[in-house]
Amino acid sequence: MTARKGEQRPAATLPVARVWVDVPLAHLDRPFDYLVPAQLAETAVPGCRVRVRFAGQQVDGFLAERVAESDFGGRLGFLSKVVSPEPVLAPEIAALARAVADRYAGTMIDVLRLAIPPRHARVEAEPPPEPSPVPGAPDPAAWRRYPRGPAFLEAVRAGRQAHAVWQALPGEDWPVRLAELATTAAAGERGAVLVVPDYRDVARVHAACVALAGEEAVVALSADAGPAKRYRRWLSVLRGGARIVVGTRASVFAPVHRPGVFVVWDDGDDLHADPHAPYPHVRDVLIQRAHAAGASLVVAGFARTAEAQLLVDSGWAPEIVAARAELRVASPRIVALGETDFQLARDPAARAARIPTVAFEAARAALAGGRPVLVQVPRGGYVPALACQQCRTPARCRRCAGPLGLPTAGRAAARPAGDVRSAARRAGEARAAVGRTAPERAERIGAPGSLFDAGPDEPARRGHVGVPADRAPGAGGLPDAPGGAVGRWEGPGGAGGGRNGTDHAPGGADGTARPPTCRWCGVPDTAFRCGACGSRRLRAIVVGAKRTAEELGRAFADVPVLSSGASEVLAEVPDRAALVVATPGAEPVARGGYGAALLLDGWALLGRADLRAGEEALRRWMLAAALVRPGNDGGRVVVAAESALAPVQALVRWDPVWHARQELAAREELGFPPAVRMASADGPADALATFLDELELPPSGEILGPVQVGDAERALVRTSRKDGRALATALATAQHVRTARKEPDSIRVRLDPLELI
DNA sequence: GCAATGAGCGTC
DNA sequence: ACGCTCATTGCT
């Protein structure tokens, strides 16, 4: 397949190959043209892997397309070699990768690295699989518990495009529901991609799909398989053998033929955010892909994210939720125990474990009935944040609403407030809040003209503009706003004096010498006052529930204790009396359902220095509580958290929709994603400063920070949603400039990063 | 005044 | 890791 030197002649037809070269430089993120030598005319097919000479080096690349002529002015080189004629880059995936790269201010080749697994020559030489038999459509009966469920399945069956945000009932056998969706598509000779957080979920959903659609129709793609196995399975999808793909995040790019339905399960799980550049999120990629492919999409989970709520609010996706009557039948009985309700059990052993009566009794009853009891304990290693001493609402910066923390010696506290710039300020308007001392600033926060005011270019009304489901989710690429423009965003106090708006507290916050400091913008807050209850006292969140769980084991001395966590994760536990201690995300499934669950990780989850802390706590609680039997079958859940808190109320009432609405409203008020588009930029101080200087932001653009993060610095950049595309373009352009200049330092850019501190 | 040499740069 | 440009050097 190698072209020999000297005697090269271009192919007779379509002699020009457009090639994505595998170089890491942002400013080279475009195809380069090469001549196809006559002897490679047949093998140099669109989508194949090639090697080309690029700047004197041999580099890998993907052949995007063959065309008749080039518009390059200079002399073209020849392709050096066709690595393999296998067309691994399907046109659909190429378009998707381009859109994802643009959405995340990254490069095509970075996305292709995520999308296309490494080649394995021996596997490629194996004969292609037979197309799998078309399965029959499954029985949609279980979907009748959800009013719009059967209609959605019917749309998938008929090959119509439909979107949905689905909240599963507690106890729902969701792997089987996902298998039904996939098999319904496969029955119509369409493909399906089911994306789940981890390999345990892959195994469960794969088994469910095999049971419905047959072994040959389904393939499991997850990173834990070796390279040969991985490539073989992926190839079987590419070659049309398997119609249903079950996998973890990278399978969003699986080259299924004629995709009919995409599903992301538990979209709030941070495993759905790829840790490799350009850090795409499964939900975003599937929204884009479903739209481009005319396929259906389900964003699913027990809990609902603010992002999913936005899809509903904008009219992009109708919701699939059960009626309250169904929920009453399915839900375990859930109670919350705050500190005030914390009545210790009389039993001496339980007393030693500091187990409240209600929890102790719930566990005792379940164990007496021969059923396992789930005990959810926090993982170690959460960064302690500051919260209100009195009501434990996380303490937030009054200017940018970032999380407050205690500065470690010699670090973030030193950054002056003057580092904060906004596009508006650059344009010449002096803005009020910048560079003032804290009390002065506090006075100004609620006033018009603060940094958080919606600019003149923002839409005047809050709210969403609904669009028909067949409309583009965003102009020309990934949906900047699924369903178009979303209303304006404002900071604290923007509209009518919000939560933290009018505080003007004298005196120190907690009596310490070092004032609490915002982890985002670096501004110290010498006059903290809780926005929720008005208290001026702060506390650091501390955790001790792991020990509680151990002591609980002693309280039930004759019951076996099983443990599932970071070191060893159990998939399933036997259906008999046992204490199952698990960290969030590692809860084993109990076949008949747990008799009870004790959720002891409340403060650790709610106290995380993360804007998603509440949503994340609810998500993890619901995942655990969903494993418990219905209340009328004795199922009990006890959560150790203050019942006044929104996530706790949402759990007790099993109302993920109510919580998601609140969460989204709060993000709109505070100026967090998904209400705004935000990016983080990390790098050495000097390089970052230059990078930020050169950013050409849209009018709504604003820079927070930088603040010190470890050895480097981090800034946050945000714009309104409608300027999301412009933000990504600005960041990409700034990266192009840097790599073109051969700057030695690199700046890491992430859009809408999940962890924002 | 101009060839010989080398560093830097773009990259088809 | 090549081949191009452009600056510097050294010789007539």
Highest-confidence segment of A246-255, A344-353, A593-602? A246-255
For residues A640 and A136, which has the higher predicted lDDT (pLDDT)? A136
Taking 50 as the threshold, does the pLDDT of residue A427 lie above it? no
pLDDT recorded at residue A429: 27
CA distances from A292 to A255, A285, A312, A420 (A): 14, 11, 19, 39
Reported confidence tier of residue A340, pLDDT bands at 50, 70, 90: low
What confidence tens digit (pLDDT) does each residue in A45-58 have?
Answer: 999 999 999 998 89
Q: How far apart are CA A238 and CA A588, in angstroms?
A: 33
Reported confidence tier of residue A476, pLDDT bands at 50, 70, 90: very low
Which protein residue's Cα is closest to nucleotide C3 at C1'?
A56
Average pLDDT over residues A634-645: 90
Pair type for strands A244-247 and A218-221? parallel
Q: What contacts A220, CB < 8 A, 6 or more positions away?
A: A202, A203, A206, A233, A246, A247
Picking from A306, A517, A508, A304, the residue whose alpha carbon sits closest to that of residue A399 is A517
Q: How far apart are CA A531 and CA A535, in angstroms?
A: 8
SS3 A335: strand
As ranges, strand C nucleotides with an atom below 7 A of a protein CB are 1-3
Taking 70 as the threshold, does the pLDDT of residue A460 lie above it? no
Taking 90 as the threshold, does the pLDDT of residue A681 lie above it? yes
Taking 60 as the threshold, does the pLDDT of residue A67 lie above it? yes
Q: What is the DSSP letter of A12?
A: S
* Nucleotide minimizing C1' to CA distance for residue A75: B12
Q: Which two tokens stand for residue A68?
A: 């008749």
* Nucleotide minimizing C1' to CA distance for residue A74: B12
A261 sits in which H/E element: strand A259-265
pLDDT recorded at residue A757: 57
Q: How far apart are CA A305 and CA A647, in angstroms?
A: 12
Residue A44 CA and nucleotide C2 C1' are separated, in Å, by: 25
Residue A414, number of CB atoms within 10 A of its CB = 12
Reported confidence tier of residue A624, pLDDT bands at 50, 70, 90: very high
* Nucleotide minimizing C1' to CA distance for residue A72: B12
Average pLDDT over residues A316-342: 89
pLDDT recorded at residue A385: 61
Reported confidence tier of residue A479, pLDDT bands at 50, 70, 90: very low
Highest-confidence segment of A70-74, A305-309, A524-528? A305-309
Taking 60 as the threshold, does the pLDDT of residue A475 lie above it? no
Average pLDDT over residues A273-287: 97
Q: Which percentage of chain A shows pLDDT scores above 70?
A: 77
Taking 90 as the threshold, does the pLDDT of residue A425 lie above it? no
Average pLDDT over residues A553-566: 84
Angle, vertex CA A700, rays to CA A698 and CA A704, nearest 5? 100
Q: How far apart are CA A420 and CA A715, in angstroms?
A: 9
SS3 A632: helix
Average pLDDT over residues A269-280: 96
* Protein residue ranges contacting nucleic strand B, Cβ under 7 Å: A 25, 27-28, 32-34, 53-56, 70, 72, 74-77, 740, 742
SS3 A222: coil
Taking 70 as the threshold, does the pLDDT of residue A755 lie above it? yes
Torsion sign (Cα): A500, A506, A509, A515: positive
Residue A54 CA and nucleotide C6 C1' are separated, in Å, by: 23
What confidence tens digit (pLDDT) does each residue in A688-737 have?
Answer: 999 999 999 999 999 998 999 889 999 999 999 999 999 999 999 999 99
Taking 90 as the threshold, does the pLDDT of residue A490 lie above it? no
Instruction: Map tokens 């969903």 to a residue.
Output: A626
| Sheet of strand A296-301, all strands in order from the earlier edge strand to the far edge | A218-221, A244-247, A191-195, A259-265, A296-301, A163-167, A319-320
What confidence tens digit (pLDDT) does each residue in A173-194 have?
Answer: 999 999 999 999 999 999 999 9
pLDDT recorded at residue A391: 72
* Nucleotide minimizing C1' to CA distance for residue A57: C1
Residue A394 CA and nucleotide B7 C1' are separated, in Å, by: 57
* Nucleotide minimizing C1' to CA distance for residue A23: B11
SS3 A230: helix
What single-letter amino acid sits at A622?
Answer: M
Q: How far apart are CA A291 and CA A319, in angstroms?
A: 17
pLDDT recorded at residue A649: 95
Taking 60 as the threshold, does the pLDDT of residue A472 lie above it? no
Contact A648/A612 with Cβ under 8 angstroms?
no
Residue A78 CA and nucleotide B11 C1' are separated, in Å, by: 15
Q: Which percentage of chain A shows pLDDT scores above 90?
A: 62
* Protein residue ranges contacting nucleic strand C, Cβ under 7 Å: A 55-57
pLDDT recorded at residue A515: 77
pLDDT recorded at residue A357: 80
Taking 90 as the threshold, does the pLDDT of residue A33 lie above it? yes
Which protein residue's Cα is closest to nucleotide B8 at C1'?
A742
Residue A84 CA and nucleotide C5 C1' are separated, in Å, by: 37
3-state SS string for A507-569: CCCCCCCCCCEECCCCCECCCCCCCCCCCCCEEECCCCHHHHHHHHHHHCCCCCEEEECCCCC
What confidence tens digit (pLDDT) does each residue in A224-250 have?
Answer: 778 999 999 999 999 998 999 999 999
What single-letter amino acid sits at A517?
Answer: T
Q: What is the DSSP letter of A260?
A: E
Which neighbouring-strand residues pair with A386? A540
Taking 50 as the threshold, does the pLDDT of residue A562 lie above it? yes
Q: Which two tokens stand for residue A14?
A: 């379509």
Reported confidence tier of residue A564, pLDDT bands at 50, 70, 90: confident
Residue A723 CA and nucleotide B6 C1' are separated, in Å, by: 48
Residue A27 CA and nucleotide B3 C1' are separated, in Å, by: 37
What is the rounded average pLDDT for all residues in chain A?
81
Average pLDDT over residues A373-400: 70
Reported confidence tier of residue A457, pLDDT bands at 50, 70, 90: very low
Q: How far apart are CA A731 and CA A737, in angstroms?
A: 10
Q: Which two tokens stand for residue A748?
A: 């890491």
What single-letter amino acid sits at A333?
Answer: R
pLDDT recorded at residue A110: 96
Residue A691 CA and nucleotide C5 C1' are separated, in Å, by: 29
* Nucleotide minimizing C1' to CA distance for residue A58: C1
Q: What contacts A742, CB < 8 A, 6 or more positions away?
A: none
Taking 70 as the threshold, does the pLDDT of residue A413 lie above it? no
What single-letter amino acid sits at A467?
Answer: V
Q: What is the pTM of this model?
A: 0.80
Q: Which two tokens stand for residue A572?
A: 């399933």
| A66-77 burial: b if 16+ Cβ within 10 Å, else e | beeebeeeeebe
Q: Which two tokens stand for residue A75?
A: 């002399």
Residue A75 CA and nucleotide B12 C1' are separated, in Å, by: 7
Residue A82 CA and nucleotide B9 C1' are separated, in Å, by: 29
Can you spell out the DSSP letters for A7-62?
S--B-SSS-EEEEEE----GGG-S-EEEEPBGGGTTT--TT-EEEEEETTEEEEEE
